[in-house]
Structure 1
Amino acid sequence: MRKLLVLSLVAVMAFSAIGLAQELGTREHPIRWLFVPSQEPTYLENIAKQIAEDISEMTGLYFDVRVMQDYQAFIEEFVAAEGDVMGAPTTQQYITIADRTDFQVTPRLGSIRYGFPYYYTGIYTLREYGFTSLYDLQGKVWAYPHEGSTSGYKLPSGYFEDLGITFSGVLPSGDSSHQRALLNVLDKQADFCTGFWNPARPPAYILDAMKAQPDYVNYWFDGWDPELWIWDYWNQDLYPEQIRGSVEDLRESVGDMYAEGAHTYGDKWELVKKVQVLGLVGPIPNDCFAFSAGFPKDLQDIIVDAIKAHIGSSDNKGPGWELWADTRFYKWTDVQDIDDSIYDNYRRATGQRVNPNN
Structure 2
Amino acid sequence: DIMAEALNAATGLTFEVSVPTSYASTIEEMCSSPENSMGFIPGLGYILASNLCDVDVAFKAVRFGWPVYWAQVIVPRDSDVTSVADLDGLKWGYPDAGSTSGFMVPSLLWQENNVTPSEEVSAGGHTGTVRAVYNGEVDFGTTFFSPPLLPSGERWAPGDFPDVPDDLIPTCEVQRDGDHLRCGEDADGDGLKDFRVLDARAGLRTEAPDVIEKVKILEISAEIPNDTLSFGPEFPADIRAQIEEALIAFAETDAWEDSIGNGDFYDWSGIDTAVDSEYDDLREIVQIVGITLENIGE
Q: TM-score, normalised by structure 2?
A: 0.84
Offset of residue 333 of structure 1 = 0.6
Which position in structure 2 is the counterpart of 1:151?
A: 101
Corresponding letter in the other structure for 1:206:
G
Query: What amino acid maps onto 2:58 in structure 1?
Result: R
What's 1:288 paired with?
228
Which of 114, 133, 142 does residue 83 from structure 2 map onto?
Answer: 133
Q: Deviations over 1:8-51 (max 9, x none)?
A: xxxxxxxxxxxxxxxxxxxxxxxxxxxxxxxxxxxxxxxxx222
Q: Distance in 2 between matches of 1:139 and 1:290?
A: 38
Counterparts of 1:275 and 1:163, CA distance in 2: 22
Displacement of 1:136 after TM fit? 2.6
Secondary structure in structure 1 of the residue aligned to 2:2? helix
Task: Say whether 1:199 aligns with 2:147.
Answer: yes
How big is the shift at 1:345? 2.8
Q: Which residue of 2 aligns with 1:231?
A: 165
CA distance in 2, matches of 1:165, 1:82: 39
Distance in 2 (CA, whole Å) between partners of 1:236 and 1:69 is: 35
Deviations 1:146-181 (A, max 9, x none): 1111111111012112210122212112xx311111
Structure of greater Rg: 1
Secondary structure of 2:73's partner?
strand
The residue type paired with residue 244 of structure 2 is V
Equivalent residues of 2:260, 2:266 under 8 A apart: yes
Task: State the match for 1:111 in structure 2.
Answer: 61
d(CA) in 1 for partners of 2:245 and 2:198?
A: 27
Specify whether residues 189 and 167 from structure 1 end up closer, same or farther in structure 2 by C-alpha distance, changes over 3 A only: same
Q: Gaps (5+ residues) in structure 2?
A: 172-182, 188-193, 291-298
The question of whether the paired residues in 2 share the 8 Å contact of 1:310 and 1:321 is answered with no
Identity %: 28
Q: Compared with structure 1, are the counterparts of its residues 105 and 169 closer, same or farther at alpha carbon in structure 2 (3 Å cutoff)?
A: closer
Q: In the TM superposition, what is the alpha-carbon distance from 1:248 to its structure 2 partner? A: 0.7
SS class of match (1:135): helix
- Equivalent of residue 171 in structure 1, options 121, 125, 135: 121
Q: Which amino acid aligns with 1:232?
A: D
1:95 matched to 2:47? yes
Partner-residue secondary structure (3-state), 1:206: coil
Q: Count how many residue pairs are aligned between Structure 1 and Structure 2.
A: 272
Q: CA deviation at 1:350?
A: 4.4
Work out whether 1:241 is the aligned partner of 2:181.
no
Per-residue CA deviations over 1:180-216 (Å, capped at 9, x if unaligned) read 111111121111111111110111x234xxxxxxxxx
- Measured after TM superposition, the shift of residue 318 of structure 1 is 4.0
**How far is the alpha carbon of 1:332 from its aligned partner?**
0.4
The residue that corresponds to 1:346 in the other structure is: 282
What is aligned with 1:76?
28
Superposed CA deviations along residues 116-171 of structure 1, whole A, max 9, x for unmatched, are 11111111111122432222322211111111111111110121122101222121
Instruction: Describe the SS at the equivalent of 2:222.
Output: strand
Distance 2:47 2:158 in 1: 23
- Inter-CA distance 182–94: structure 2 relative to 1 (3 Å threshold): same
Find the residue that maps to 1:76 and give its secondary structure: helix
Q: How far apart are the structure 2 equivalents of 1:272 and 1:58?
A: 42
Q: Residues of 2 paired with 1:283 and 1:350: CA distance?
A: 15
Residue in 2 aligned with 1:50? 2
Match of 1:6 in 2: none
**Offset from partner CA, 1:49-81 (integer Å, 9 cap, x none):** 222122222221111111002121111111222
SS in 1 for 2:219: strand
CA distance in 1, matches of 2:279, 2:23: 19
**Counterpart for residue 12 of structure 2:** 60
Higher RCO, 1 vs 2 (CA within 8 Å, ≥6 residues apart): 2
* Structure 1: gaps (5+ residues): 1-48, 208-218, 354-358
Q: Please give the residue correspondences for 1:300-315 in structure 2 after superposition, counting only pairs within 5 Å.
A: 300-312=240-252
CA distance in 2, matches of 1:329, 1:78: 20
2:263 paired with 1:327: yes
Where does residue 211 of structure 1 map in the other structure? none
Q: How many angstroms apart in 1 are the aligned matches of 2:254 and 2:273?
A: 17
